[in-house]
Amino acid sequence: MMIVEEIIREVPQLSEGFESVEPLSGGLCNQTYKVRTKHRSYVLRVNSNQNEYLGLTRTSEVEAMKLANLHGLAPSVIASDRPEQFHITEFVEGRMITHEDLETEPMADMIIDRLKQIHRMEGISRELTPYQLIHGYLSGADRFQIKPPDGLSGALRRVEEITHKRSNDKAFNNKFCHNDSFTCNMIYTGEQLQMIDWELSGYGDVFFELAIIPFSNRFTEAQEKDWLRRYFDHYEDEQFIILQDMKWMCMVREVVWGMFYSGLNKETPLHGFDYYKHAEYAMERLNQGICFL
């Protein structure tokens, strides 16, 4: 908590009229706090150093957040003088999207609309494809000497195959993606939907983005086809096949993410979460041919 207190003293927006600070739940990678002042509330995020292993900079993350805010997609950035260590955004009053929300047509359409807007964003020097994401985590896990769960080598061979197939799609590759569009990173204000946590954003694969919600919410086949129809305004069997491949990529990401963070946080565990157990769980499901959490 000492570093948080130091940041609050350092940043005028937080120190002037400071009232309280409390940890926020939801994220498993960084330390996030709500800071209340007499004037307004802010979100202070103290960053982990995962970006170093993924070839990303915090400066470009802040640029992405600022551009997203201009499009009404993300909270405004209040302070980012030392982006590698922390940044501060406005606190948006609202609630996280729930699984039940996804079953309502207006909310599903709103989420799809937000994703489409993100995929049209341009002008940011920041790339993170599914392949780069998986191998960045895997490279970090190797450096931490984390033992791979049984079956990972076979899963990675399929990752290579899928990556090769997807390289031929010029229409839906190299589009800006949030890449972490889980419902916990969507805040509904009652009128608008705001996306938070842009640290994995970058030019990547639209289909990977579209697979995140179906795989993390156990969509049925009918729901997946409806999801694709909402995004593309029509449905084709080829879209469904690609979505299944991307759900596989999402599951492999969960495995290597858990491995990586079990090493990164070995000395200072965050949030009481067992990252390696999560990696084993995701790998076990993959071995069974199950591509949802």
Mean pLDDT of 162-183: 97
Q: Is pLDDT above 70 for 193?
A: yes
Q: pTM score, two decimals? A: 0.94
DSSP assignment, residue 267? Answer: S
Query: Which residue is it, tokens 């079953």?
Result: 103
pLDDT given at position 219: 97
Mean pLDDT of 132-140: 97
Mean pLDDT of 77-92: 95
Q: How confident is the model at residue 162 (pLDDT cuts 50, 70, 90)?
A: very high
Domains of the chain: 2-92 (3.30.200.20), 96-287 (3.90.1200.10)
pLDDT given at position 265: 83
Phi first, then psi: give them for residue 221, nearest 5 degrees. -60, -40
Q: How confident is the model at residue 244 (pLDDT cuts 50, 70, 90)?
A: very high
pLDDT given at position 273: 86
Angle formed by the axes of helices 152-166 and 237-264, nearest 10°: 130
pLDDT given at position 29: 77
Q: What is the pLDDT of residues 25-53, one digit of tens each?
A: 866 678 899 999 999 999 999 998 888 89
Q: What is the pLDDT of residues 194-210, one digit of tens each?
A: 999 999 999 999 999 99
Q: Is pLDDT above 70 for 267?
A: no
- Say which residues have a Cβ less than 8 Å from residue 53's Cβ, sequence separation at least 6: 136, 137, 139, 140, 143, 260
| Residue scoring higher pLDDT (225 or 268) | 225
- Say which residues have a Cβ less than 8 Å from residue 292's Cβ, sequence separation at least 6: 214, 215, 216, 217, 218, 219, 247, 251, 285
pLDDT given at position 256: 98
Q: Which two tokens stand for residue 205?
A: 């694969």
* Chain mean pLDDT for the chain: 95
Q: Is pLDDT above 70 for 268?
A: no
| Residue scoring higher pLDDT (267 or 209) | 209
pLDDT given at position 27: 66
Cα 93 → chain centroid: 20
Mean pLDDT of 211-225: 97
CA dist 252 → 48, 153, 235, 274 (Å): 22, 11, 26, 17
Q: Is pLDDT above 80 for 1?
A: no
Helix residue spans in 120-236 (DSSP H): 130-143, 152-166, 206-216, 221-232
pLDDT given at position 161: 98
pLDDT given at position 266: 80
Question: Is there a contact between 246 and 207 (Cβ–Cβ < 8 Å)?
Answer: yes
- Say which residues have a Cβ less than 8 Å from residue 171's Cβ, sequence separation at least 6: none
Mean pLDDT of 135-146: 96
